[in-house]
Amino acid sequence: MARINDNFLKLKAGYLFPEIARRVNAYSEANPDKAGDLIRCGIGDVTEPVPEATRKAMHEAVDELGNRKTFRGYGPEQGYEFLRTAVVENQFAGLGIDADEVFISDGSKCDSGNILDIFGPGNKIAITDPVYPVYVDTNVMIGNTGEAGENGAFEGLVYLPCTAENNFVPAIPEEKVDLIYLCYPNNPTGTAATREQLSAWVDYAKANDAIILYDAAYESFIQEDDVPRSIFEIDGAKDCAIEFRSFSKIAGFTGVRCAFTVIPKQLTGKAADGSEQPIHALWSRRHSTKFNGASYPVQRGAEAIFTDEGKAEVAELIEHYMGNAKLLREACTEIGLPVFGGVNAPYVWSVARRESIRGACLIKC
């Protein structure tokens, strides 16, 4: 009989969101009179339609595919240069990131999980607690952890507690770790990391030869001027960080699917023989072997959010979701709950009777 990957059996609790959906369905069935009024604060899905600039660009791209002269088949696995250039010019201007360091994909969830393919066994992995469950589960699947304990924590992972006391940015660990997952602005707590806090992490990573896996899916929701938008705004980050970004939340792309990962060419990791190897080359090899490029109309649609029309539409979307966050913040405050986040991210976090409440504001209020 074919052997399975036993690591999957460690994931007893299942993925969080199907479990939330199961409970919501059970509640709705038991309370049919309330089902229509439920505000779903589980998975952070968007509710607002895809911007017109994007739809227009996608329509045109589809028409190009219908004409033999402009038809395109397989595109470059790394993504079309028009999109990689637009990303660099619009989102990394002045940070010294090259279009060649951007890898377009069909989602940050996949990228942040797949990235483990290029790292070897034996790495010490630090994750924040609470955390986007993808980081934990993908480490379990690939065999980087032991079993889950009573409290659900996996043996072998270094959990970095994020609490109201540390403003949901974890303390630098005393032990040495090799890979660190950071997500700011944060899902699920909605908090942002300051320049000083990120600088401390970059200093730690450089001193310990660690790599920071920085998830900036919510970068566009940042409202305050002094909050860094990219880990690459921090001196030295190009020696120790990978950044993940996605079009999902900023432009209604959760169903359209487009994201990207930035890997500086100077970033290295250690091979078994002790030699230093560029991470960019490994990911390039991985990406072009296991991925065949995001769809052409989708990449044209993503490019369009950087036009003047697209930027204006995205700004409106952000304003809408941040308005939802404000409503949730105010509602929590009104009923006497402590509330965090919702200022630079569309998430708010509250704590009641020792149970945490998370609220994803990507909902229609």
Give the interface segment with ligand PLP, choosing from 53-61, 245-253, 273-281, 331-339 (CB under 6 A): 245-253
Q: Is 22 exposed, middle or buried (0-12, 13-18, 19+ CB in 10 A)?
A: exposed
Report the nearest approach of ligand PLP to the CB of residue 1 (Å): 34
- Closest approach, Cβ 119 to ligand PLP, in A, equals 18
The CA–CA distances, whole Å, from 18 to 83, 220, 249, 308 equal 33, 27, 20, 38
Q: Tell me which amino acid residue 265 is.
A: K
Stretch that binds ligand PLP, among 89-97, 107-115, 220-228, 324-332 (CB under 6 A): 107-115
Q: Three-state SS for 210?
A: coil
105 membership: H or E segment, kind and range: strand 102-105
Q: Contact between 107 and ligand PLP (CB under 6 A)?
A: yes
The residue (of 183 and 343) whose beta carbon lies closer to ligand PLP is 183
Cβ neighbours of 354 (radius 10 Å) = 5
Q: Contact between 119 and ligand PLP (CB under 6 A)?
A: no
102 forms part of the interface with ligand PLP (CB under 6 A): no
Q: How far is CA 34 from CA 17, 25, 30, 40, 117, in A?
A: 21, 12, 9, 12, 45
Which residue of 217, 241, 348, 363 would you call a contact of ligand PLP, by CB under 6 A? 217
Q: What is the chain's Cα-based Rg?
A: 21
Residue 346 in the binding site for ligand PLP (CB under 6 A):
no
187 belongs to the binding site for ligand PLP (CB under 6 A) = yes
Which residues fall within 8 angstroms of residue 31, CB to CB, at 6 or more apart?
none
Q: How far is the C-alpha of 63 from the C-alpha of 297, rounded, in Å?
A: 9
* Residue 183 sits in the site that holds ligand PLP (CB under 6 A): yes
Site for ligand PLP in 247-266 (CB under 6 A): 248-249, 254, 259
- 108 near ligand PLP, judged by CB under 6 A: yes
Nearer to ligand PLP, 109 or 300 (CB): 109
Give the count of residues interacting with ligand PLP (CB under 6 A). 14
Among 178, 215, 243, 313, which residue interacts with ligand PLP (rule: CB under 6 A)? 215
Cβ at position 122, least distance to ligand PLP in Å: 26
Q: Is 234 in the site for ligand PLP (CB under 6 A)?
A: no
Question: Of 181, 167, 206, which Cα lies nearest the Cα of 341?
Answer: 167
CB atoms within 10 A of CB 134: 18
SS3 content of the chain, % helix, strand, coil (to 5): 40, 15, 45
Would you say 266 and 236 are in contact if contact means Cβ atoms under 8 Å apart? no
Q: Which is nearer to ligand PLP, 107 or 293 (CB)?
A: 107
The residues in 2-61 that bind ligand PLP, with binding defined as CB under 6 A, are 44
User: CB-wise, 217 or 237, nearer to ligand PLP?
Assistant: 217
CB 79 within 8 A of CB 103: yes
Q: Which residue is nearest to ligand PLP (CB)?
A: 107
Which bin fits 336, alpha (ψ -120 to 50), beta or left (φ > 0)?
left
**Spatial separation of the C-alpha atoms in residues 208 and 200, rounded to whole Å:** 12
358 binds ligand PLP (CB under 6 A): no
Q: How far is the CB of 59 from ligand PLP (least distance, A)?
A: 22
Give me the least distance between CB of 217 and ligand PLP, in Å please: 4
| Residue 298 Cβ vs ligand PLP, minimum distance, rounded to whole Å | 12
Nearest alpha carbon to residue 240 among 281, 197, 190, 204: 204
Interacting residues toward ligand PLP by CB under 6 A: 44, 107-109, 132, 183, 187, 215, 217, 246, 248-249, 254, 259
